[in-house]
Amino acid sequence: MALTVMVQGTASDAGKSLLCTALCRIFARRGFTVAPFKSQNMALNSYVTADGKEIGRAQGVQAEACGIPATVDMNPILLKPKGNMTSQVVVRGVPIGDMSAIDYRLDYVPTAIGIIKDSLARLCNTHEVVVLEGAGSPVEINLKDRDITNMKVAELADAPVILVADIDRGGVFASIVGTLELLEPRERERVKGFVINKFRGDIRLLEPGLDWLEKRTGIPVLGVVPYQRDLYIESEDSVVLDKMNLKKPAVANELDVVVIRFPLISNFTDVDPLRFEPDVSLRFVSSPDELGQPDLIILPGTKNTVDDLLWLTQKGLAARLVAMPPAANILGICGGYQMLGSRLLDPDLVESNLPELQGLGLLDITTRFLPHKTTVQAAGRVLDMPGAASCLTGLTVEGYEIHMGRSERGNVRPFARLCSANGVHEDGAVNRDGTVIGTYLHGILHNDEWRRSFLDGIRVKKGLLPIGKTTSNYKRRMEAFDQWADAVETAIDMDRLLSIMKNKGEHKSENLYANRR
C-alpha cells in the first residue's frame, strides 16, 4: 500500500491545490511513483483524460506534475455548477445528470462513498505515494455530517493530515486553532503538521507565533511557504481572476486582447499562454464600458451557453460585439463558439428551458444541444484559411473537447480537420475574411506555433512587424512545476513529513524553528 498524506485547509483558497501540486512534484523528483487524489471536486475548469473522461483540472495538473497520465480515479466525482443550486454530476468521468445540492447530499452521498473508496484503493495499490487534497474547510459544521472530501477520506486512506493556512488574509493563528477546536477528537489526532502559506516578510518576526502555536497545539509547524508571484500553474477556480492584474490598458505596439468574463466561465485556462506573450495586454471584462476597441476578443468556454448568452445580451455586450468594426478579430472557444452562430436549438431542454435562442449571427452555424456529452482529446491540422488568417493554414493543433452540443455549418468554411477516438471530423468555422474563428478545441492557444502565428497575423493587419518566435508553453509549465517545488521543498521539512507519513505521525522531534535559531 502507498504512503499517503492529505492536505486540508482552514478555508477555501488557502493553497491546498498548489501545495499538493508541489508535493507531487517533489516526491516524483525523489524517485517515487506518485498520484494525486481528490474525492470530490467542484469546479468549472475540467480536464479530459486520454480515454476521453472528465475530471477536475487541478488533478489533471497534479498528474502532470507527477509525470503520469491523469485517470478518473484521481477525481472520481466532479460537480460542475450550473446555477440555481444545481450541478452536473460527473462520476468517474461521465455525467450522470443534474442534481440539486439537497438531493445530492441526501440521496447520492452514500453511493458516492463507495465510488471514492474504490478509486482510492486502486491508486494506493499501484503507486508508492498518494497525495490527497481536501476541499474548503474540514469544519463546515452545517455540511460536516455528509462531508466526503476531508476527514472521512483521510480515514479511508489512513492518511496523516497537514493543515495549510493562508497568512496573507490575516488571522492565521485563530484559523488554525479554531479549526482544531471544531474537529472531533479522533479527527484532531490525524492532524500531524501545519504549513503556513503565502508569507511575506522576515521569518524571524513570525517565529514567536510559531513557537506559541506548537506549544498551544502540540503539533509541529512543518514550514512557512513564501508568497509566490507570477507562478505559471493553472488554477481551476475563477476567483483567481480577481487577483490578477488583467485590466491594464494596452500600450504602444501591444495587442489589446479582451476575454469576456461570463458568470459561468469555464476552462478559462485556455487563455493562460497569452499572459506570457510579450506583445499582449490581456484583460477580462464583464461590461460594455470595459470593452474599448481591442485587437482581439475571446469568447471562452461556459458551463451554460444559453444563460451566459442571455447575460451577454442583458449587459449590452452582445450588441457591442455585433457592431464591432469588420476588421475586429474574434475567437470563440466551445460555448463561445456556439454563441457566435445564428441559432441555438434545445428541443430536449438540455441546456435551459428555452427550445430556441438567437445567437450573435457572426458565423453561419446552428447548434443543437444533445443529452450526450462529448469529452475527447483531439489533434489535427488547420484547413485553408482566408484573409488575415491565411498564415494559420496547415498548422498542427491539439487539445480537447468538452461540450453537449453539435454545430452544423451553413455557408461558412470549417476551421480544422481533427482526429480523435471518435474518428475524423471537421471542427469549427471561420467567416469569409478570417476575422471570426470558432472552435470546439479547448487548448487551442496552448499550441505554440498556432498561437504566435495567430497573434502575428493580427499584428501585420495592425501595421506591426511579426515577432515570429515564442516560448514553449510546455517548457514553461514544467519549469513552473520545478520552480514551485523548489520553493516548497526549501520552505518545509520534507524529511519530517516523510517520517510522519511512514509512521502515521508517531515520529517526534524538537521544535523545527528552535533548531533554526
Strand partners, 416: 382, 427
Task: Report the candidate in 507, 498, 496 with the shortest Cα–Cα distance to residue 221.
Answer: 496
d(CA 393, CA 488): 43
| Beta carbons within 8 Å of 355's beta carbon, 6+ residues apart | 345, 346, 347, 349
Task: Report the candidate in 303, 242, 283 with the shortest Cα–Cα distance to residue 86.
Answer: 303
Question: Active-site residue 334, yes or no?
Answer: yes
3-class state of residue 82 by DSSP? strand
Give, in order, the Cα–Cα distances in Å from 211 to each of 95, 121, 176, 244, 497. Answer: 48, 38, 14, 34, 19
Choosing from 20, 124, 127, 442, which is the catalytic residue? 442
| Beta carbons within 8 Å of 473's beta carbon, 6+ residues apart | 273, 446, 447, 448, 451
Question: Phi-psi category of 267—alpha, beta or left, where left has phi over 0 and alpha has psi -120 to 50?
Answer: left
Choosing from 24, 66, 124, 334, which is the catalytic residue? 334
Helix spans in 193-286 (H): 203-217, 240-243
CB 221 within 8 A of CB 513: yes
d(CA 449, CA 443): 13
Q: How many CA atoms lie within 13 A of 478 on its CB side?
A: 9
d(CA 44, CA 80): 5
Question: Active-site residue 124, yes or no?
Answer: no
d(CA 88, CA 20): 26
d(CA 400, CA 377): 4
Instruction: Kindly state the helix (H) or strand (E) to which residue 451 belongs, with its residue range.
Output: helix 448-462
d(CA 171, CA 10): 11
Q: What is the crossing angle of helices 473-491 and 57-66, to 10°?
A: 80
Residue 83 CB coordination number (10 Å): 13
What amino acid positions are annotated as catalytic residues? Answer: 334, 442
